[in-house]
Chains A and B, each alone.
Chain A
Amino acid sequence: MRRLLIVIPYVWLLALFIVPFLIVFKISLSDTAIAIPPYTPTLDVSAGFGAIRDFFLELDWENYIWLTEDDLYWKAYLSSLKIALISTFLTLLVGYPIAYGMARAPEEWRAMLFMLVILPFWTSFLIRVYSWMGILSQEGYLNQFLLSIGVISEPLVILNTNIAVYIGIVYTYLPFMILPIYAALEKLDISLLEAAEDLGCSRFSAFWLITVPLSKQGIIAGSFLVFIPTIGEFVIPSLLGGSRTLMIGKVLWEEFFSNRDWPVASAVAVVLLLILIIPIVLFQRNEQKQREAGK
């Protein structure tokens, strides 16, 4: 009984999570070919030991060397990191005051505000990104509004630029930033701030010296929760970004669906995974530390 309980989910995840990765890794070492499937060599176990040995001999690191030679790829990795970093910072700037306002709101409002932050998370990600297309386009609502109040005389070009990508990321990932910061701020003891003010601290320096350090855990957790998924983001750069927006998730998609170059797409995926391991491990360690501190 106990064994069955362990074995069923274990085997499921091995078969549909680990094995697929090994296949990706194997294909990343293969060569592109005009065939079905479009790579070579393919493993044919029934052909005996010699065939298996030949199969391994034909695998090489060629695709990885290719990734370093063609500057499209490393530029895409760097640009993904840059976009993820900047948008994480912007999300923090937008999210912190909201989380702060929520934590200071009257107790009876908080459950309601909390739900209002969660609600967008349940609605379709694709629709939330799409809703910005009508706002940011040349003849979109934002330009119409700004033209009508006379702030600008010519429509701004925002859609299909990196600015639209930043707006899209901040918008869709905002709840991930707000919730951990709110959780940290809600626990904060207000009497600490009052004590600081009594002792002659200005409001602003009390905020910097007490509130920010005590909400550090929330800031770190929120930043990782935004940073990690944005690196591999595909929908936002494809819908809101332009042809010059370079993000690795988009490159992988195009490599696979448009160029049909499976081995290179697989190599792109493996390298992306290696890059992601660093922030994921740091995030896990931070969570672990927090759990131990909480005990």
Chain B
Amino acid sequence: MRQMSWFNVTSLTLGFAFLYLPMLILMIFSFNESKLVTVWAGFSTKWYVELINNRAFLDAAWVTLKVAFISSTLATVLGTMAAIVMVRAGRFRGRTLFSGMIYAPMVMPEVITGLSLLLLFISLGMDRGVFTIVLAHTTFSMCYVSVVVSSRLVSFDQSLEEAALDLGSTPFEAFRLVTLPIIAPSVVSGWLLAFTLSLDDLVIASFTSGPSATTLPMKIWSSVRLGVSPEINALSTIMILVVAVGVVTASLINKRNVLRQRREEAAAAKLA
């Protein structure tokens, strides 16, 4: 192994400092005593206490989690179906349109997706709230799920499924007992992706929500428009930490599962 050159070490150090310093500073200053966010006045956790006592934030967090949970679950079901259609269904009428509809929402500017869904809900006379945000989030995140799941479906050995069918299982049983366990890790990552996309979204939620439902990003947005606030720093710190712990745990679990699966597949290949 060649020694890393000073250039590579510098660019990595600077690069990761650039990626992480802003968030680090934000987290440090969330423990700042002073209301003036940029002047350090001693350690304090009072902004966390204020945050917990702020009903509006708690309500918004609850709405956000509800929307994220329902929409990511729906998106996982629909996205997995779409992935199976894309990879397995062969030719059918309207296939080009179908694959276009899967890819387009991912490159669409959020302002357009939001505007168009809002105009749909209005022309149907629907009351806007949690339900309409769920519909909107499901629609764009199912496309991400289907891309994640289909990349796994493409790489897996279809003869396993065929063997199950030959041995007398119904297509549904073959899916439940053979295909689903194999693609499960990608379905889980699809769900996680859909969940975070929904947690994150500001623009589409602002368009499709009504006065009855405010999500956390919408609440953050209305406070930060006026400038930096210590309460938002505290909230951001909590969100960053939750995500960091979640992602690291998920990737460790995923790594273990992938290793185990590889071992099992290798063992099965040896038997065959």
Interface residues of A (CB under 8 A from B): 1-2, 5-6, 8-10, 12-14, 16-21, 23-24, 27, 37, 94, 97-98, 100-102, 104-107, 113, 115-120, 122-128, 130-135, 137, 139-141, 144, 171, 174, 228-229, 231-235, 238-239, 249, 252-253, 256, 262, 265-266, 269, 272-273, 276, 280, 283-284
On whether the beta carbons of A135 and B203 are closer than 8 Å, the reply is no
- B220 on the interface (CB 8 Å rule)? yes
On whether the beta carbons of A127 and B236 are closer than 8 Å, the reply is yes
6 A/B residue pairs, CB under 8 Å, sorted by A: A5-B84, A10-B101, A20-B119, A116-B16, A130-B236, A232-B109
On whether the beta carbons of B240 and A127 are closer than 8 Å, the reply is yes
- B239 on the interface (CB 8 Å rule)? yes
**Which residues from A are CB-within-8-Å of B196?**
122
On whether the beta carbons of B217 and A133 are closer than 8 Å, the reply is no
On whether the beta carbons of B107 and A228 are closer than 8 Å, the reply is yes
Binary contact readout B84-117 vs A (1 if CB under 8 angstroms, 0 otherwise): 1100010010100010011111011111100111
Which of chain B's residues has its CB closest to A106's CB? B1
Q: How far is the CA of A249 from the CA of B225 in the complex (A)?
A: 17
On whether the beta carbons of B111 and A252 are closer than 8 Å, the reply is yes
On whether the beta carbons of B22 and A98 are closer than 8 Å, the reply is no
Q: How far is the CA of A23 from the CA of B8 in the complex (A)?
A: 52
Q: Lowest 5 CB-CB distances: which A-B pairs, in order?
A: A232-B109, A20-B116, A98-B15, A97-B11, A101-B12
Which of chain B's residues has its CB closest to A203's CB? B5
On whether the beta carbons of A17 and B105 are closer than 8 Å, the reply is yes
Specify which of B79, B84, B101, B239 is in contact with A123 (CB 8 Å cutoff): B239
**Which residues from A are CB-within-8-Å of B37?**
134
**Which residues from A are CB-within-8-Å of B138?**
12, 16
Q: How far is the CA of A283 from the CA of B104 in the complex (A)?
A: 12
Given A101-B8, A124-B239, does the pair A249, B109 have CB atoms closer than 8 Å? yes
On whether the beta carbons of B220 and A269 are closer than 8 Å, the reply is no
On whether the beta carbons of B112 and A265 are closer than 8 Å, the reply is no
User: Interface size bucket, B side?
Assistant: 35 or more
- B19 on the interface (CB 8 Å rule)? yes
Q: A98-B12, A239-B225 are in contact. List 15 more A-B contacts (CB 8 A).
A: A6-B89, A13-B101, A13-B139, A104-B8, A115-B248, A116-B16, A122-B243, A125-B202, A128-B23, A132-B22, A134-B29, A135-B22, A137-B227, A269-B112, A276-B109
- B123 on the interface (CB 8 Å rule)? yes
Q: How far is the CA of A280 from the CA of B105 in the complex (A)?
A: 12
Given A6-B89, A140-B38, A269-B111, does the pair A124, B236 have CB atoms closer than 8 Å? yes
Which of chain A's residues has its CB closest to B11's CB? A97
Given A12-B139, A122-B247, does the pair A130, B25 have CB atoms closer than 8 Å? no
**Which residues from B are CB-within-8-Å of A18?**
101
On whether the beta carbons of B203 and A262 are closer than 8 Å, the reply is no
On whether the beta carbons of A19 and B120 are closer than 8 Å, the reply is yes
**Which residues from A are CB-within-8-Å of B70?**
none
Specify which of B18, B94, B139, B217 is in contact with A94 (CB 8 Å cutoff): B18
On whether the beta carbons of A234 and B111 are closer than 8 Å, the reply is yes
**Which residues from B are CB-within-8-Å of A229?**
107, 109
**Which residues from B are CB-within-8-Å of A235?**
202-203
**Which residues from B are CB-within-8-Å of A8?**
78, 81
On whether the beta carbons of B243 and A273 are closer than 8 Å, the reply is no
**Which residues from B are CB-within-8-Å of A106?**
1, 4
